[in-house]
Structure 1
Amino acid sequence: MSNRPSTLEEVARLAGVSTGTVSRVINNAPHVSKKSREAVQRAIEELGYVPNTAARSLATARRGAVVLAISSDDPALFANQFFAEVIAGVNAVIEETDLQLMLVLAASERGRSRLTRILQSRAADGVLLLALRENDPLSKIADEGQVPVVHGGRSLDRTPQHYVDADNRGGARQAVEYLVSLGRQRIATITGQTDQHAGVNRYLGYREALALAGLPDHRVVHGDFSEASGVEGMARLLDEHPDLDAVFVASDAMAAGALKVLRSRGLSVPEDVAVVGFNDIVTAQHTHPALTTVRQPIEALGREMTRMLVRLIDGEQPTSLILPTELVVRESA
Structure 2
Amino acid sequence: MTDTVSGRSGRVRSKRPPTIHDVAAQAGVSRGTVSRVLQGGHNVSPASQEAVNAAIRKLNYVVNRAARSLVTQRAGSIAFLLSETQDVFFEDPNITTLLRGCTTALASHDIPLVVMTAGTEAERRRITPYLSAHPVDGVLLFSSHRGNPMIEQLQRADLPFVCCGKPLGRHGAVSYVAADDREGARTMVRYLIESGRRRIATIAGPQDTPGGLERLLGYREMLAEHGVRYDKRLVASGDYTRASGEARMQELLTRVPDLDAVFVASDLMADGALIAIKRAGRRVPDDIAVGGFDDAPLAVTADPQLTTIRQPWARISDTMVRLLLAQINGEGTATVILPTELIVRASA
Structure with max Cα Rg: 2
Following superposition, the deviation at residue 315 of structure 1 comes to 2.1
Equivalence for 2:53 = none
> Higher relative CO (CA 8 A, sep ≥ 6), structure 1 or 2?
1
1:188 and 2:201 matched: yes
State the distance in 1 between where 2:277 and 2:152 align.
43
Equivalence for 1:265 = 280
The answer to whether the Cα contact below 8 Å between 2:144 and 2:168 also exists between their aligned partners in 1 is: no
Deviating more after overlay: 256-265 vs 310-319 = 310-319
Deviating more after overlay: 24-33 vs 93-102 = 24-33
Equivalence for 2:322 = 307
State the distance in 2 between where 1:24 and 1:269 align.
63
State the distance in 2 between where 1:170 and 1:234 align.
23
For residues 130-279 of structure 1, what are the structure 2 equivalents within 5 Å?
130-158=142-170, 160-218=173-231, 219-279=234-294
Percent of pairs identical after alignment?
40
* TM-score (structure 2 length as normaliser): 0.79
Following superposition, the deviation at residue 114 of structure 1 comes to 2.9
| TM-aligned CA distance change 1:272 to 1:31, over 3 Å | farther
1:27 and 2:7 matched: no
Equivalence for 1:68 = 80
Across the aligned residues of Structure 1 and Structure 2, the Cα RMSD in angstroms comes to 2.4
Following superposition, the deviation at residue 113 of structure 1 comes to 2.0
| TM-aligned CA distance change 1:312 to 1:41, over 3 Å | farther
Residues 128-180 of structure 1, C-alpha deviations (whole Å, 9 max, x = no match)? 11123111111101111112111111122125531111000000010000001
Equivalence for 2:343 = 328
Following superposition, the deviation at residue 207 of structure 1 comes to 0.6
- Structure 1 counterpart SS, 2:320: helix
State the distance in 2 between where 1:40 and 1:136 align.
47
State the distance in 1 between where 2:337 and 2:236 align.
27
2:309 to 277, 283, 294: 294
- Structure 1 counterpart SS, 2:86: coil
State the distance in 2 between where 1:315 and 1:100 align.
20
Q: State the AA in 1 paired with 2:223.
A: L
Q: State the AA in 1 paired with 2:140.
A: L
State the distance in 2 between where 1:230 and 1:59 align.
52
State the distance in 2 between where 1:75 and 1:233 align.
20
* TM-score (structure 1 length as normaliser): 0.83
Following superposition, the deviation at residue 225 of structure 1 comes to 0.7
Following superposition, the deviation at residue 41 of structure 1 comes to 8.0
The answer to whether the Cα contact below 8 Å between 1:25 and 1:37 also exists between their aligned partners in 2 is: no
State the distance in 2 between where 1:243 and 1:323 align.
36
Aligned residues: 296
| TM-aligned CA distance change 1:32 to 1:175, over 3 Å | farther
| TM-aligned CA distance change 1:75 to 1:172, over 3 Å | same
State the distance in 1 between where 2:194 and 2:304 align.
20
Following superposition, the deviation at residue 229 of structure 1 comes to 0.4
1:103 to 95, 112, 115: 115
- Structure 2 counterpart SS, 1:129: strand
State the distance in 2 between where 1:74 and 1:168 align.
25
